[in-house]
Amino acid sequence: EAGVTQSPTHLIKTRGQQATLRCSPISGHTSVYWYQQALGLGLQFLLWYDEGEERNRGNFPPRFSGRQFPNYSSELNVNALELEDSALYLCASSPQGQSKETQYFGPGTRLLVL
Amino acid sequence: GDSVTQMEGPVTLSEEAFLTINCTYTATGYPSLFWYVQYPGEGLQLLLKATKADDKGSNKGFEATYRKETTSFHLEKGSVQVSDSAVYFCALNGGATNKLIFGTGTLLAVQP
């Protein structure tokens, strides 16, 4: 069974640009989550999408946004990039029902903002 | 709010040594508890989980028991290998928000 996939693996942008990160969940999973792993800040929850709707949002500014498509894949968009947005962005997915709490992670997209 | 505290690293052990990484949590409800492992340059892999008090999660020789009375979920392995070298994260999911709250991670280095 294929795991969570993310693209691109690496992304280099300059300050002020926009970045788009993509995620495909495990087949059959309907929820997608985004986390940021920045140096010195640990793993921080960004967003949760389920059945195409945003269900929960972490303490991040509005320039962090995303969406979930009908096939349950997801995009994370970061507008007006700042240097401190440089981080590993991890996507996770989970199934429906009682097992929703268990999240399975992809390999991440490493974003570098210059 | 909910939080996770895990022991600071790095933890350096010789091969075949016994491993304990301490993890305690604070939560208002009855969270599910997880250990994830991150190998260099990779994402997180689910190592084991426990969803209620006294449950024991186990995988690949690693074990952790959900202790409600001490709010702990310590990770143990009887005999570590060089290939176990990685960063280990303890996490909880409180349920209502369905987000994982992570500890700061513990770097384990196993020497041959």
pLDDT digits (tens, 9 = 90+) for A28-79: 999 999 999 998 889 999 999 999 999 999 999 999 999 999 999 999 999 9
From residue B97, alpha-carbon distances to A58, A101, B68 in Å are 10, 10, 21
Residue B29 or residue B71, greater confidence: B71
In whole angstroms, what is the distance from residue A56 CA to residue B2 CA? 16
Instruction: Provide the mean pLDDT of chain A.
Output: 94
* Optimal mutation site among B34, B49, B90, B100, interface A, most CBs of chain A within 10 A: B100
Interface test mutation site (partner B, options A7, A23, A101, max chain B beta carbons within 10 A)? A101
CA distance A81 to chain B (A): 23
pLDDT tens by residue, B75-98: 999 999 999 999 999 999 987 788
Chain A residue with the nearest C-alpha to that of B41: A107
Q: What is the pLDDT of residue B30?
A: 87
> A110 to chain B: nearest residue by CA?
B41
What angle (nearest 5°) sits at the alpha carbon of residue A89, between those of residues A88 and A95? 140
pLDDT at A2: 84
Token reading at B110: 């196993």
The whole-number pLDDT of residue B101 equals 95
What pLDDT, on the 0 to 100 scale, is given for residue B112?
95
The CA–CA distances, whole Å, from B64 to A44, A49, A85, A94, B89 equal 24, 30, 34, 22, 13
